[in-house]
Copies of this chain bind each other. A is one copy, B any other.
Amino acid sequence: MTEVPVNTENKNVGNEKRIHELDSLFKPKAIAIIGASSKELSIGNVILKNLVHYGYTGQIYPINPKEPEIRGIKAYPTIFDVPGDIDLAHIIIPSRFVPQMIEDCGKKGIKSVIINSAGFSEMGEEGMALQKEFLANAKKYGVRVFGPNCQGIINADPQYNAYCDFTFTFPKPGSISIVALSGGVGAFIMQSLFDLDIGMRLYASNGNACDVSISEVVDYYGNDDGTRAIILYTEGFHNPKEFMDVAKRVSKKKPILAMKAGRTEEGAKAAASHTGSLAGVDIATELIFEKTGILSFQNEEEMCQAAMAFSTQPLPKGNRVGIITNTGGPAVIATDELVSAGLQLPALSERAKEILKETMLPEASIGNPVDVVATGGGTHFRSALDVMMDEDDIDAVYINFVTAPFTDTNEVARNIVEVNKQKRKPMVCNFMTNMSLERFQETAKILRDGGVPCYSFPTTAAKALGALYKYHKMQSRNIGKEKDFNDVNKKEAGNILQLARNENREFLTSAQTYQLLAHYKIPFADWRIASDTEDAVKAAEVIGFPVVIKADSSSLIHKSDQGGVAINLNNADEVRSTVVRMKALFDAADLKFFIQKYLPGGRELIAGVSAKKDLGHLIMFGIGGIYVEVLKDVVFKIAPVTEVEADEMLASLKASKLLDGVRGEKGIDKQLVTDIILRVSQLVTDFPEIQEMDMNPIMAFGDNAFVVDARIKI
C-alpha cells in the first residue's frame, strides 16, 4: 500500500478549508456502506458490525441492491435512495465499478469516500487507469478519497465512535492519534496501546493514498485539540517536501513519534515488494525526522511504550532525573539505561538528605537513587517523591515499585498517584508485580487510573523517560534560518550552468566548476589552465611552487585513478616532465592542464551534494582519506542547512576531535569550513538542476580552508 500523490491540490495542505474537508472523513454524521453484505466475515459485513459494536453515534446506511436490511439495519438499493445527507461512504465493490460509483457519490453530495476495495495502482497499468478515472470524477465533484486498497479510519471520540475499519481492536477514547502506511503495523500499534490500557483518539491507514495523504492526516491531527501525541509509521514519502512542511509545523505543537521501516537494504527490498514502489535504503526520511523535530524510533515496541508516557506526563525541563526504588538491582539497570539516553543523576541537596534521614526507614539508602527498601510503605514513597519534586536539580522522576508482599501496596500506589496528579515533573514507574493476583490488580488499577505510566521492566521505563527527554531536547533546539550570503553572484552562476547545458554537458569542465564556486565565494586553491608544456610552466611560476597538475578533459572523470594527477611539483623541470607524461597517457583532443597551488599539511575534508527527487538536496560532510574510506565517518543533512546544522555536521563526526587538533597537530578554523558548507547549500538551493557535487578534498588549516578538487553534475 503506497502513497502516490496524484491530486495536485494535495500540496496546498494546512489551509482551513482542507481541514474542514477532512471533518467529513474523521467526524462523519452519516455513513453509507456501499457494498454492505449480509455474508459473515466479508469486509462489507465486518465494517457494519464494527460501526454498530463501537456505538457509532451517526446514521448508517447499508447500500445493497438486493437486501432490505443487513444486521438489522435498513438497507438501500442505491445511495440515491438514501433519504438524508451522507458525509462519508465506504466503497467495497469491485474496482471496475468504482469510477461510476464516485460519480454517483459526487452527485449525491457525499464529501468523503473510503475505498476499501483493491485492484488499483497496486495492480499495474490497468488498475492505475481506473484510479486516474475515479480521481478525475472525485475532483469534478470535490469528493475527497481515502485509499483505495486501505483499512480506513477510526475516531474514538465518544461524540462519534466512528469505527470505519475492518480491524478488531476497540480502543477506549484517549489522546494519541495514529497514522500508518501499513495497515498491519497500524493495527498492532493500536492493539499495543489497547494492551497498555491507554486510549486512542484518531486512527488512519490510507493504503494507496491517491488523494488524502499521510501529510494531510498529520496536519489534521496537528489541528485536532484532542490529539496530544501522534504516532506515525511509514516506509518513506512520495512527497517528502509536503511532509516536511507539515511536520515542521505540527511537531512544534505536539510530539510526533515515528518509525520508518526499510532501514536495511533487505528491509527496503521487502518494502518495495509489498508496496510495489518505494525502493532503496532511504536515509532521507531519517534526515527529515531530524530536521523537523520528529522523534524517530527503530523499535515499534519502544515507540508504543514511549507513547504511554507522552499521553500522560508533562515534558521534563532538563536531563536530571531522580530515582526512587524499593529494590536494588532494577535501579542499577535503570541507571544504565537512563545514562545511556543522556540523562544524569545529580546528587541530592543537603536539605533533601536531611528530610529523608527523618522520614525513611533506618535501612533505607539516602541518595540518588533513594532506596526506600522493600519494607518501605506509602509514607516513605511519598516523602521521597515530595523531595524529588522540590529539588531544583531534578527534572524528572523514575520509580521502581515492586509489590512486596509485606507492604500495603495500594497505599504506595495512592501516594504515587497523588504526586503524579500535581503534574510538577514527569514520572515513569517500573511496576513489578504479578497481575494474576487480585490484590495487585487493584494496586495496578490505582496507578493506571491515576495516569501513572507503568512498565514491566526497568529498561523499558527508562527508555520511555529517555524519549520524553529527547523530545524536550528537540523542542529546545532552534536550528535557526539558513544563512543568506548576499555577496554571491547568482546571475553569473546561472549563466555558467546555462552554458554547460547548452554544451550538453553532464559534468561541468574544471574551469566552469571553479568559476561557479567563485561566484558563490566558495574558496578554492589558486589555479590556472594551461594547454601545453610551456604554458604549464609559466602558470606554475605565476602561482608559485610547489604545484599540483591535473589532466582535464571531458573524457576524464576519475583523474587520480588514471594517473591524471601529480602533486608537489617543485620546479619547472618537474612540471615539464609531468605534462609530457600526461600527454602521452591521455590521447584527448580537448586535453588541458589544470594547475593549482600545492599546500602540504592541513586536514583533508570532503563534502558532497546529491539531489533527491521531490525533496531537494542532501549535503554530505566528512573527514577525508581513511576516515571516509575505512570508518565511513560522514554526516548528512537536508539542504538548505542553517549555521546550527552546519556546526552540528562538524561536531557529530566520530573523529570530530581531529578538527580541534590532537597529538600536537594544530586544529582547523571550523568557521571557514562551515562557511563552505553554507555557501554550497545556498548554491544548490538556488540551482535545483545541480544533481551532484563532490568536493574532495577540501583542505583545512588553522587559518585557511579551500576546495582543492570539485566535480559538478547537472
Chain A positions within 8 Å of B, measured between CB atoms, are 1, 41-43, 46, 118, 166-170, 180-188, 191-192, 194-195, 233, 235, 259, 261-267, 269-271, 273-275, 298-301, 323, 327-333, 335-336, 338-340, 344-345, 363, 365, 367, 369, 371, 374, 400, 402-403, 405-407, 432-437, 440, 456-460, 625-626, 629-631, 654-655, 657-658, 662-663
A396 to B403 alpha-carbon distance, docked (Å): 39
Q: Give A304's nearest chain B residue, CB to CB.
A: B457
A330 touches B433 (CB 8 A): no
Q: Which B residues are CB-close (under 8 A) to A630?
A: 655, 657-658, 662
Q: Which B residues are CB-close (under 8 A) to A166?
A: 405-406
Q: Give A408's nearest chain B residue, CB to CB.
A: B41
24 A-B residue pairs with Cβ-Cβ distance under 8 Å, sorted by A, are: A41-B405, A41-B407, A43-B406, A183-B329, A184-B328, A184-B329, A188-B456, A235-B329, A262-B332, A262-B336, A264-B336, A264-B340, A265-B339, A266-B336, A270-B331, A270-B335, A270-B345, A274-B331, A274-B365, A298-B459, A301-B459, A301-B460, A625-B663, A630-B658
A432 touches B188 (CB 8 A): yes
- Our pick among B169, B233, B266, B457 for the contact of A188 (Cβ within 8 Å) is B457
A41 touches B267 (CB 8 A): no
- Our pick among B46, B266, B275, B344 for the contact of A339 (Cβ within 8 Å) is B266
B459 touches A300 (CB 8 A): yes
Q: Give A367's nearest chain B residue, CB to CB.
A: B273
Q: Give A188's nearest chain B residue, CB to CB.
A: B432
A335 to B273 alpha-carbon distance, docked (Å): 12
Q: Give A660's nearest chain B residue, CB to CB.
A: B630
A300 to B433 alpha-carbon distance, docked (Å): 16
B400 touches A184 (CB 8 A): yes
Min Cβ gap A326→B in Å is: 8
- Our pick among B300, B363, B655, B657 for the contact of A333 (Cβ within 8 Å) is B300
A42 touches B406 (CB 8 A): yes
B336 touches A267 (CB 8 A): yes
A1 touches B328 (CB 8 A): yes
Q: Which one of A43, A166, A339 has the greatest number of beta carbons of chain B within 10 Å?
A: A339
Known interface pairs A402-B188, A435-B195; A662-B329 also in contact (CB < 8 Å): no
B336 touches A434 (CB 8 A): no
- Chief secondary structure at chain A's binding surface: mixed
- Our pick among B169, B271, B329, B363 for the contact of A332 (Cβ within 8 Å) is B271
Which 10 pairs show the lowest CB-CB distances between chains A and B?
Answer: A182-B329, A184-B327, A274-B328, A185-B329, A267-B336, A261-B332, A41-B406, A267-B335, A264-B339, A270-B335
Min Cβ gap A361→B in Å is: 12
Q: Which B residues are CB-close (under 8 A) to A434?
A: 168-170, 191, 194
A329 touches B192 (CB 8 A): no
A405 touches B655 (CB 8 A): no
- Our pick among B182, B266, B340, B663 for the contact of A335 (Cβ within 8 Å) is B266
- Our pick among B191, B327, B338, B626 for the contact of A432 (Cβ within 8 Å) is B191
Q: Give A344's nearest chain B residue, CB to CB.
A: B266
A46 touches B187 (CB 8 A): no
Min Cβ gap A307→B in Å is: 13
A190 to B348 alpha-carbon distance, docked (Å): 33
Q: Which B residues are CB-close (under 8 A) to A339?
A: 264-267
A365 touches B437 (CB 8 A): no
B405 touches A345 (CB 8 A): no
Q: Give A192's nearest chain B residue, CB to CB.
A: B456
Min Cβ gap A1→B in Å is: 7
A168 touches B403 (CB 8 A): yes
B371 touches A456 (CB 8 A): no
A269 to B328 alpha-carbon distance, docked (Å): 12
Known interface pairs A183-B327, A188-B457; A263-B405 also in contact (CB < 8 Å): no
B185 touches A330 (CB 8 A): yes
A195 to B433 alpha-carbon distance, docked (Å): 10
Min Cβ gap A235→B in Å is: 6
A367 to B235 alpha-carbon distance, docked (Å): 20
Q: Which B residues are CB-close (under 8 A) to A183?
A: 327, 329
A662 touches B46 (CB 8 A): no
Q: Give A330's nearest chain B residue, CB to CB.
A: B184
B456 touches A301 (CB 8 A): yes
A298 to B336 alpha-carbon distance, docked (Å): 9
A433 to B188 alpha-carbon distance, docked (Å): 8
Q: Which B residues are CB-close (under 8 A) to A340?
A: 264
A396 to B166 alpha-carbon distance, docked (Å): 32
A327 to B187 alpha-carbon distance, docked (Å): 11
Q: Which B residues are CB-close (under 8 A) to A654?
A: 631
Min Cβ gap A195→B in Å is: 7
Q: Which B residues are CB-close (under 8 A) to A371?
A: 273-274
Q: Which B residues are CB-close (under 8 A) to A180?
A: 329
A332 to B271 alpha-carbon distance, docked (Å): 6
A329 touches B274 (CB 8 A): yes
Min Cβ gap A468→B in Å is: 19
B332 touches A274 (CB 8 A): yes
A191 to B184 alpha-carbon distance, docked (Å): 29
A457 touches B261 (CB 8 A): no
Min Cβ gap A664→B in Å is: 10
A433 to B192 alpha-carbon distance, docked (Å): 10
Min Cβ gap A231→B in Å is: 13
B365 touches A301 (CB 8 A): no
B336 touches A263 (CB 8 A): yes
Q: Which B residues are CB-close (under 8 A) to A187?
A: 402, 432
